[in-house]
Structure 1
Amino acid sequence: MTSIRYNPHEEPDEDEEKTLDQYVHEHGAECVADVADIAIGTNEKRVTNTENFLVDRYVEYEVETTIRIGSSIDAKLPPTFTVFRRYSDFEALRTCLVVSHPSVIVPPLPEKVVNVVWKNGTPELDKFNDDLIGHRRCAFQTFLVRVSKHSVLSAHPKYHDFLTRDYDFKVLMSGVEMKSDSFFKQLSATIGLKKPDKRFLELKTYADALEESTKEVIDVRRKVGFKRLQIYKLFADLAKQFNDWSGIEPEMGDCLQSASHRLDGLAGLVQGFSEQDETQFGEPMKEYQLYADAMRSVAKKGEIVQYECEQTEQVLHSKVKAKADFEKDPNALSFSSLKAKLFGGGPSIEERRKEHEQIVKKAEESVERAQEELSSFVSQSERDMETFHRQKREDIKRVLIADAKLQLELNRKSLSAWRNLKETFHSC
């Protein structure tokens, strides 16, 4: 299979190479996932010196985007794009998607600090740790695949750049608006709303509940996993005791030695099981715990849009009132009339009436635009929430079924080990 890596110091000739966006549109695809597969391949550990003479240690992940349909060796766009991205590049991409599509629940990224159950609950791992790298590789692939299946997010030009252009992503992001709403603006919207939309309140409430529920499930499962690990490790201690005992029992020595080997095998079951359990259960649950922030972000932005709509409505109300007051008494003292009396001239009553009408019209147009923006935001967020719930139900169902199968497998192997031990003891 052919692949391409662009020269990071040389801009591509856009006239010669078909873009990923063109591929999507040529085949009438709704999203990138309809035409391409995305996978995280190998990783490269790098240590470089910065301009400030500091050492920058980071890991780059190989991102491969393979075109599935219509690809051939004669195609202008190669079947596979290969780029390398680091953690900060993924952060920049996600921030760009959040700012560009505030009504969409953007999938989360993995945490920078990872708890690893089978490593005795280590609170933090070095960025070059193989367990952390493996965890991030899986999480990064999940993130990119989820975005590729979203018709809105996967259409973003910077997402296409991220997948296909092997340049410094910070350079590719230059000039892109990356600022989110300030804390003061969010606080003003939360406090200043006269009639908070219950849909945004319900979304925040659900996000908090989902975060708490998944956190509790993860915490309990980690306790169970750690205790199980301790129990199975005790079987290894028991195996050692049987082995030592066999040395002083000539008649039962072979039997005790055999039991020692079987107990060692029983103790070894849990190591691979714990790692598989974390991959199949812990990581998916953690992803949905992190989804809570994404939902809260949508709710907060919705409140800001609603607050801005209310502000434009208040402005319109004040302008309509000013116009009504003028109609009641055109000769009433005002700033413009006082200025005319002091300096002479000034607009006539009819001109002032037209001015009031124009001001009210502009305010009405502003309200109409704000209401349309709010309506569009609510519609998009509701559609995205429905999609999220469908995805969540399918994922959680799959995770729970896989977990039940894994538990059954461990218990089957444990039961088989104990049956063999029983037969061993019968032969003594």
Structure 2
Amino acid sequence: MADSGSEDIAVIGNTDLTPSESENNLKNTMVEKGTSLLKKMEISVAEAEKRTGKNAVNMQETYTVYLIETRPVDAASEGNNPVPDSLWRRYSEFELLRNYLLVTYPFVVVPPLPEKRAEFVWHKLSADNMDPDFVERRRVGLENFLLRVASHPALSSDKIFYLFLTEENGWKETVFETGFQAKADSRLKALHATFRVKNPDKRFAEMKHYGDELQAVISQLLRVRARAADRLYGVYKVHGNYGRVFSEWSAIEKEMGDGLQSAGHHMDAYAASVDDILEEEEHYADQLKEYLFYADALRTVCRKHELTQYELEMAVQDLTSKKQQREELATGTIRTFSLKGMTSKLFGQETPEQREAKLKMLETQIEEGEELVKERNSECDEFVKSAWVDIERFKEQKDHDLREALISYAIMQISMCKKGIQVWNNAKECFNKM
């Protein structure tokens, strides 16, 4: 964490601030140490807009942009209600921001973005990523992503994130100037390389396994919900057939006609209400999907710990090898089979001068190796400490969010069933009056 002068301002990131940037940050009440940005700034994704333009290969494309609005909390609380600052961002820019955060804060369970294309949809729901309903749900998801980051103790005070919210032009260039992509590429290769940690941390191994199971369970739950939505849609629409039949029947009845006509209206209204109900259900499904993607973010932290541990073990192994070489060179005994040992037997021993030069070089390498081991040890300890704090924070957040979502979903189902009972009670009253 870099301090910007004596004003106790925290700016975290990979780039240094110029004096003018520091001044702008002070004017805009940048986040104080230990305070989330959300306590200083109101953030919303107010609307989405479809646009047409040319892509990187000069071809026409249609895309969606999202309007981000921000305003100081102090001004809003004082009743001034100023016009919010606003700028437009594409989904790909949100992706760039998240990739930057993933690389810069490897110990953080970085909040996920909403899905780019609809998954786990029931058959009447459009999977088109330009569908207005899907775009609206994604707008809500993007706002939730920004609020998650803005309330995080570490991510909220990142300079790049602040610029994402406040600077429409030049933001991408600032991100790329941090050099995060080089780190991202090398980390990506390392994470996909075949390596095995000799002494894995049991806590992280268990957490990685938990992430796998959480993702599997939520995936299964979303599939079940999609199937249930299909069946529910069918049941409601069948009530529309009741309405049609009662209306047609009423036309040939003199005494019972009014009662049948009224019962038919109740059935038609009930059938039409399914669209709003299933749209509300999709919002609960989106809450589950967030934690479907959160599970992958959790596993990513565990994999990064594996990489940190692996780098430490490789440094220790290399240092041990160098010390063994020094001992063999000093005593003239070769403990293990090596090409060097075979060469000595075939072509004779090295001269004292050559051996002295190699010993001196090994001493230098051993000193460097000891420093590297110390550095890797410190990195690993710091990663474990920071990551575990964030994982505990994530677990508390997850328990609260999923509990609230499932309770709300159950309440909605109860309310829906009560409406169904009420419809049939109303129909019963209509039949009684015939």
Find the aligned partners of 2:36 and 2:278 in 1 and give their Cα distance.
36
Question: Quick one: which amino acid aligns to residue 323 of structure 2?
Answer: V
1:80-133 deviations in Å (ceiling 9; x for gaps)? 4311100100000000000111111111111121148576143x2142x21121
Say whether the 8 Å CA contact 1:82–1:164 is kept in structure 2.
yes
Of 306, 309, 328 in structure 2, the residue corresponding to residue 306 of structure 1 is 309
**Equivalent in the alignment of 1:362:** 368
Question: What is the identity, as a one-letter code, of the residue corresponding to 1:138?
Answer: V
Deviation of 1:41 (Å): 0.5
Deviation string 1:170-228 (CA, Å, 9 cap, x unpaired) is: 3332323222446652244x533222322332122111101011111111112112211
Deviation at 1:33, TM superposition (A): 1.4
Matched residue, 1:389:
395
Which residue, out of 96, 102, 105, partners 1:98?
Answer: 102
Residues 346-396 of structure 1: CA distance to partner in whole angstroms, max 9, x if unpaired? Answer: 4684x7655443332221111010111111111111111101100001101
Describe the superposition over 1:259-285 as per-residue Cα deviations: whole angstroms up to 9, x where unpaired.
111111221222211111211x11100
Cα displacement string for residues 132-190 of structure 1 (whole angstroms, at most 9, x for unaligned residues): 210110110111100011121122221111001011543332323222446652244x5
Who is 1:147 aligned against?
149
- 2: CA distance, partners of 1:411 / 1:370: 59
1:196 to 195, 200, 207: 200
Tell me how far 1:401 sits from its aligned partner.
1.8
Pair 15,294 (structure 1): closer, same or farther in 2 beyond 3 Å: closer
SS of 2:45 mapped into structure 1: strand
Indicate how the Cα distance of structure 1 residues 72 and 269 shifts in structure 2: closer, same or farther if over 3 A, else same: closer
Partner residue in 1 for 2:29:
23
Distance change in 2, residues 1:366/1:212 (3 Å)? same
* CA–CA separation in structure 2 for the residues paired with 1:220 and 1:19: 48
- Aligned equivalents of 1:392, 1:420: Cα separation in 2: 42
Letter in 1 for 2:218: T
Q: Could you list the runs of 5+ residues in structure 1 that have no partner in the other structure? A: 1-11
Corresponding letter in the other structure for 1:46: R
Q: 1:376 aligns with which of 376, 379, 382?
A: 382
Instruction: Check conservation: 1:21, 1:155, Cα contact below 8 A.
Output: no
- In structure 2, relative to structure 1, the CA distance for the partners of 1:376 and 1:327 (3 Å cut) is same
Q: Aligned partners of 2:166, 2:311: CA distance in 1, in Å?
A: 38
1-structure distance, mates of 2:185, 2:105:
11
8 Å Cα contact 1:89-1:169 kept in structure 2: no
Structure 1 residues 261, 102: closer, same or farther in 2, change over 3 A? same
Does residue 1:85 correspond to 2:89, yes or no? yes
Give CA-to-partner distance per residue, 1:283-330, whole Å, 9 cap, x none. 100110111221121122111111111110011101111222233249
Query: 2:167: which partner in 1?
Result: 165
Which residue is 1:39 aligned to? 44
Alpha carbons 2:270, 2:423 under 8 Å: kept: yes
Work out the CA distance in 1 between the residues paired with 2:57 and 2:398.
Answer: 45
1:344 Cα deviation from its structure 2 partner: 8.5
Superposed counterparts of 1:47-62, under 5 Å: 47-50=52-55, 52-62=57-67
* 195 and 173 in structure 1: CA distance in 2 versus 1, 3 angstrom threshold: same
TM-score, normalising length from structure 2?
0.84
Partner of 2:260: 256
TM-score for both structures, normalised by structure 1: 0.85
**Unpaired runs of at least 5, structure 2:** 1-17
Q: More deviation in 360-369 or 409-418?
A: 409-418
2:271 match:
267
**Residues 53-92 of structure 1: CA deviation (Å, up to 9, x unaligned):** 311311110111221136899x9xx884311100100000
1:293 counterpart letter in structure 2: D
* Residue of structure 2 aligned with 1:411, choices 391, 402, 417: 417
Q: CA separation in 2, counterparts of 1:348 and 1:202?
A: 49
Report what 1:5 is aligned to: none
Give me the identity figure in percent: 31
Moved more, 258-267 or 160-169: 160-169
